[in-house]
Structure 1
Amino acid sequence: MSAKFLKHLIQSSALACMILAPFSVFAQSPFEKVAQVNGSIITQFELDQRILFLQLLGSPASSNSDVLDELIKDRLRQQITKKFDIFLSEEALQQGLTDFAARAELSSEEFIKQLKVDGVARQTFRDFVTVSLVWRDYIRARYGNSIDITDDQVDRAVQSVSSNTGIDVLVSEIIIPTSPDIAGEVLEVAEEIMSSNSTTEFSEYATRYSATASREDGGRLDWVPLTDLPPQLRPILLSLAPGEITNPLPIPDAIALFQLRDIRERSVPAIRYSSIDYAVYLIGGGRSSEALRRAQKVKASIDRCDDLYGVAQNEPQANLKRENLSQSKIPRDIALELSKLDKNEVSTALTRSNGSTLVFLMLCGRTPALSQSEDDKATREAVAAQLLNTRLSALSNTLLEELQADADIVIFN
């Protein structure tokens, strides 16, 4: 399965922390009842489909009972939103499907076709998105007006973010290639790595398992400004003490673990960038010796990003993509590699298409934020939205716990 376009989506799902165990699809009758929620039946087919869907997303996962519990919560979500006549229009659903697939740089139909190849029905995807969007609308309608995010709260949160601009971090990385076929084994390795008790032990694991060039130095990276790293990674690193390790983070075709080795403050704030210009040139063959030789040949023949147009001129247009995006819109794995590069430097650490395509990544340039006031305004708006979403998420979880406690739920053996 081409799981590469699916894995990084799981970070935005409420199921990101679930850990799926191996299962046998259709080991039972697909129409056999596995649970009943206030009279509404959940079938073996639905359970099998959800498990398969999550595995194709590249989710590190847990037991089937955890997946069933999430399906039960979905039924409760559906029942209460139906009770209050909250539905999703077809137009809103199509937009939701499009947005979900767009994170993988695919149209919704391309996304659905990829799922179908591996046995996931269109309706499974539609149901997954529908329940999420309708519940989001319900929670916002029920609680949104009762939550007051004050300027003082935003100021304190912004101050916390702003104080990070003068911070450098010293980290080590381990990037482990994965696919649906080996997800279980990779998860076991990741859990073993998380139990590391020293930077030396983590470096030994990096040398053994990591797929990036830093493995030659035990996964150790140089000091880097925190603001150069992907926005999603910054708060995670700041929550660590030196020596501590992140949970496994899903990225396309791999999972990543980071160990914080040290942190320091600088008197001069780091430069903030409004956008980053980079090029991605795709080379068939993954990390095969032939593909890597091709990458080295291309690297030796170019001096800047514009030269790649000549390299790819007789190839399919999709093989070369030039982007100029804000950091928050750059895929996490690409953003991480770009943070290690200077202008016109190249990385060949990443793959796509389940490891069958090598990514030749080149940094073309970084554009500093021109207007500090505009940048600060965007930061305040983003922080306010984050505070609101955090409150809504907590209220949503509390409501679901209450609904589940009051529901008539039967689990069939």
Structure 2
Amino acid sequence: MQLISGFSRFLRSGWLKALAPGLAAAMLSIVPHQSPAQSLFSPAIRVNQDIVTWYELEQRKLFLELLGIPGNSDADVRKALIDERLRKQAMREAGIAPTPEDIQLAIDEFASRGQLAPEEFLKVLADAGVDRETVRDYVASQLAWRDYVSARFISQARPTDDEIDRALGQAGGGGLQVLLSEIIIPVNPQTLAQAEALANEIAQVKTFDAFSAAATQYSAAPTRENGGRLDWLNVTNLPPALQPVILGLKDGEVTSPLTLPNAVALFQMRGLREVATSAPRYSKIDYAAYYLAGGLSPETLKKAAELKETVDTCDDLYGIAKGQAPEVLDRISASPSEIPRDISLELAKLDPNEVSTTLTRNNGQTLVFLMLCSRSRDLGENTSREDVANALTQQRLQAFATSLVEQLRADATIIEQ
């Protein structure tokens, strides 16, 4: 598993080298909200016995901004550093820490993705205001967490021969489909704690009727009208990291709450079946997201319903967005693992040119008019059993890691300034 996957598209040597030292002053203005009376090195967040300082928040935000990496909003940076403290505490208890040699190798790899020597890479960042320790801490945290998760969960994550066969579509010549029910609970900063408590309570239900009743009462998804029940879905349509979680459920079992942008989701297993035709795997998903102000208000939902009647393909949205700001429409082609979890879950329910109006952005103030354009099949000619086994293992390790952090967060005492 590569240390920091996906960063190659952000690290471009020409762009990095063009960073002027004067950019640091501009970037340092992008600081999480801090009282003038507070020192940069005073606690901004307490996570159990550990602290995150205002300086660390500033540095991480600047670091991500300079590299163009998503997740650089104030809220995202706070959440990331809280999760890092939780992971460090778990690793500290297990006696796991990366060696200086391992950290240097990781920095070397990180720099090479921008076609820079390690010292040149660190100097470019330093000239823009990012301390070496910020880079080191970022890399070391990911490296040690990878080793910890692997050591703790590898025996549970390795797939059996039958599971590899199913993933390859060879088990009886067929593929797997799941029958699920869903609950999507919308959240904003003011309702997050209440929504998480509700989701944790729902996760304990044991019957189909109880989950259905909860979906009818609390879910914001259109399926609430049907008790949260979805139609049969190909397992391969689900987000890659979620597939082993779903396949690990027994009938009636409910997932732990899954954190999505502006929502918390739960899924209940209602059935699993093999079908005669192998479920296709996809290398690329092409989709469009058109953003409407107003969130899930009746007026905006009515506007979205009217829009749905006027567009037949994703290309039609270009005409709708003409004359508006470019950011009102995103047209994206990405591999399944690169797509945000909430979008991937909605796309799993759609056929090409179908629309979802369930998701929001901007703390619920913006409705996402989501349209599936096409799926590109992964023919898999070069896929070996070893490749499939490694992919399944990594998917499961990621799912275990995500679940563990969510549990650590639920058990932690977190105080934010």
Structure 1 and Structure 2 fold alike (TM over 0.5): yes
Partner deviation per Cα, 1:66-116 (whole Å, 9 max, x = no partner): 688359569973xx63488847649837979xxxxxxxxxxxx9xxxxxxx
1:219 and 2:228 matched: yes
1:229 and 2:247 matched: no
Q: 1:69 corresponds to which letter in structure 2?
A: Q
Counterpart of 1:56 (choices 72, 75, 81) is 75
Q: Conserved in 2, the CA contact under 8 Å of 1:59 and 1:250? A: no
Counterpart of 1:209 (choices 218, 223, 230) is 218
**Superposition deviation, residue 239 in structure 1:** 0.7
The TM-score, its normalising length taken from structure 1, stands at 0.64
- CA 1:224 to 1:84, structure 2 compared with 1: closer, same or farther past 3 Å? closer
| Number of residue pairs aligned between Structure 1 and Structure 2 | 324
Structure 1 vs Structure 2 CA RMSD: 4.7
What's 1:104 paired with?
none
Q: 2:110 corresponds to which letter in structure 1?
A: A
**Superposition deviation, residue 266 in structure 1:** 1.5
- CA 1:82 to 1:206, structure 2 compared with 1: closer, same or farther past 3 Å? same
1:92 and 2:118 matched: no
1:373 and 2:381 matched: yes
Q: Conserved in 2, the CA contact under 8 Å of 1:81 and 1:87? A: no
**Superposition deviation, residue 388 in structure 1:** 7.8
Cα distance in structure 2, aligned partners of 1:284 and 1:124: 41
Q: Conserved in 1, the CA contact under 8 Å of 2:182 and 2:266? A: yes
Cα distance in structure 2, aligned partners of 1:361 and 1:162: 30
Q: Conserved in 2, the CA contact under 8 Å of 1:81 and 1:135? A: no
- CA 1:182 to 1:313, structure 2 compared with 1: closer, same or farther past 3 Å? same
Partner deviation per Cα, 1:218-250 (whole Å, 9 max, x = no partner): 100111221222222211111111000001111
Aligned partner of residue 270 in structure 1, secondary structure? coil
Q: Conserved in 1, the CA contact under 8 Å of 2:311 and 2:317? A: yes
1:314 and 2:326 matched: no
- CA 1:82 to 1:68, structure 2 compared with 1: closer, same or farther past 3 Å? closer
Q: Conserved in 2, the CA contact under 8 Å of 1:60 and 1:183? A: no
What's 1:158 paired with?
164
**Superposition deviation, residue 354 in structure 1:** 1.7
**Superposition deviation, residue 185 in structure 1:** 1.0
**Superposition deviation, residue 204 in structure 1:** 0.8
- Aligned ranges for residues 8-407 of structure 1 at < 5 Å? 44-46=51-53, 56-57=75-76, 69-70=89-90, 77=97, 81-82=99-100, 86=104, 89=107, 92=110, 129-135=138-144, 158-162=164-168, 166-369=175-378, 371-374=379-382, 376-377=383-384, 380-381=386-387, 383-384=389-390, 387=393
**Superposition deviation, residue 285 in structure 1:** 1.7
**Superposition deviation, residue 299 in structure 1:** 1.4
- CA 1:43 to 1:87, structure 2 compared with 1: closer, same or farther past 3 Å? farther
Aligned partner of residue 304 in structure 1, secondary structure? coil
**Superposition deviation, residue 259 in structure 1:** 0.1
Q: Conserved in 2, the CA contact under 8 Å of 1:278 and 1:364? A: yes
Q: 1:158 corresponds to which letter in structure 2?
A: I
Greater displacement, 67-76 / 214-223: 67-76
Q: 2:381 corresponds to which letter in structure 1?
A: S
- Identity percentage of aligned residues: 36
**Superposition deviation, residue 296 in structure 1:** 1.9
**Superposition deviation, residue 340 in structure 1:** 1.3
- CA 1:90 to 1:182, structure 2 compared with 1: closer, same or farther past 3 Å? farther
- Provide structure 2 residue ranges, at least 5 long, that are not aligned to the other structure: 1-33, 62-70, 115-124, 401-417
Aligned partner of residue 353 in structure 2, secondary structure? coil
- CA 1:258 to 1:393, structure 2 compared with 1: closer, same or farther past 3 Å? closer
- CA 1:243 to 1:383, structure 2 compared with 1: closer, same or farther past 3 Å? same
Cα distance in structure 2, aligned partners of 1:229 and 1:392: 15
- CA 1:387 to 1:131, structure 2 compared with 1: closer, same or farther past 3 Å? same
**Superposition deviation, residue 158 in structure 1:** 2.5
**Superposition deviation, residue 136 in structure 1:** 6.6
Cα distance in structure 2, aligned partners of 1:383 and 1:210: 36
Q: 1:202 corresponds to which letter in structure 2?
A: F
Cα distance in structure 2, aligned partners of 1:122 and 1:209: 46
Cα distance in structure 1, aligned partners of 2:56 and 2:95: 15
Q: 1:92 corresponds to which letter in structure 2?
A: F
- CA 1:123 to 1:300, structure 2 compared with 1: closer, same or farther past 3 Å? farther
Q: Conserved in 2, the CA contact under 8 Å of 1:169 and 1:226? A: yes
